[in-house]
């Protein structure tokens, strides 16, 4: 039986109960991140939803920089869903080999593109429910495509950076990405769901690193329970 994908419901949250002071703190974090990264968007270079979808699949356990080196040759060879669907697996694997896990990624890309051709006339759908039926596509990838390519706020992107910062900033106590997403959706106004994903990712890369967060130079420190507790 195929797995049923249901969008998380923001009313169920493991984050602290919203109070006026907590709501003000969250607004302060959002505004602080927006000021730091006013033009935040994905680092994956793409032209349209199809390229972004393929690039996001390739970005699993791989840096965006590496994906950006691979995709120009990939999209020159397979510029749309129909071309990708017809590509021989060995050729596709050769094009994406340096992104790692290329056997599985090639399988996902082929399955994704073949499904786009068979069910969606080669076009990337605009709903979460349809996107997560594509091979290789879960909520994170679907949120990236919906938010960045279409401007549709269906949820919040939760990658390793967002997961780490949501916990450090006191926005979630969960470990599971879907639970973290529910917490963020409950705390953050829907109009800022796309923005918060992009800005948290950038802050995680530039300031709040996994091993050595730069709390001493973080402008969010006064609003961050982890930063306030840091020595120095």
Tokens (6 digits) for 48: 């349209």
DSSP state of 124: P
- Looking at 35, 80, 107, 140, which residue is catalytic? 140
- Looking at 64, 105, 159, 183, which residue is catalytic? 159
| CA–CA gap between residue 109 and residue 65 (Å, rounded) | 19
| CA–CA gap between residue 18 and residue 10 (Å, rounded) | 13
N residues, the chain: 232
Q: Which of 18, 112, 3 is nearest to 56 (CA)?
A: 112
| CA–CA gap between residue 86 and residue 113 (Å, rounded) | 9
| CA–CA gap between residue 184 and residue 139 (Å, rounded) | 14
For residues 199 and 186, the answer to whether their CB atoms sit within 8 Å is no
140 is catalytic: yes
Residues 6+ apart with CB under 8 A from 97: none
179 is catalytic: no
| CA–CA gap between residue 160 and residue 92 (Å, rounded) | 27
Show which residues are catalytic.
Answer: 140, 159
């Amino acid at each position: 039986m195929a797995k049923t994908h249901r969008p998380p419901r923001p009313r169920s949250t493991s984050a602290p109960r919203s109070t006026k002071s907590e709501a003000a703190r969250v607004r302060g974090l959002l505004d602080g991140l927006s000021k730091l990264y006013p033009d935040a968007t994905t680092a994956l270079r793409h032209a349209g939803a199809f390229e972004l979808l393929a690039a996001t699949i390739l970005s699993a356990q791989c840096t965006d920089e590496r994906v950006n080196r691979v995709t120009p040759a990939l999209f020159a060879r397979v510029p749309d869903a129909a071309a990708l669907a017809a590509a021989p697996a060995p050729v596709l694997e050769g094009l994406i080999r340096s992104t790692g896990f290329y056997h599985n990624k090639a399988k996902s890309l082929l399955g994704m593109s073949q499904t786009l051709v068979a069910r969606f006339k080669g076009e990337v759908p605009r709903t979460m429910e349809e996107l997560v039926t594509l091979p290789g596509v879960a909520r994170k990838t679907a949120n990236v495509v919906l938010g960045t390519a279409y401007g549709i706020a269906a949820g919040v992107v939760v990658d390793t950076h967002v997961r780490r910062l949501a916990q450090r900033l006191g926005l979630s106590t969960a470990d599971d990405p879907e639970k973290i997403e529910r917490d963020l959706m409950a705390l953050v106004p829907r109009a800022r769901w796309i923005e918060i994903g992009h800005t948290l990712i950038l802050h995680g890369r530039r300031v709040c690193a996994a091993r050595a967060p730069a709390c001493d130079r973080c402008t969010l420190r006064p609003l961050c329970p982890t930063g306030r507790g840091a020595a120095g």
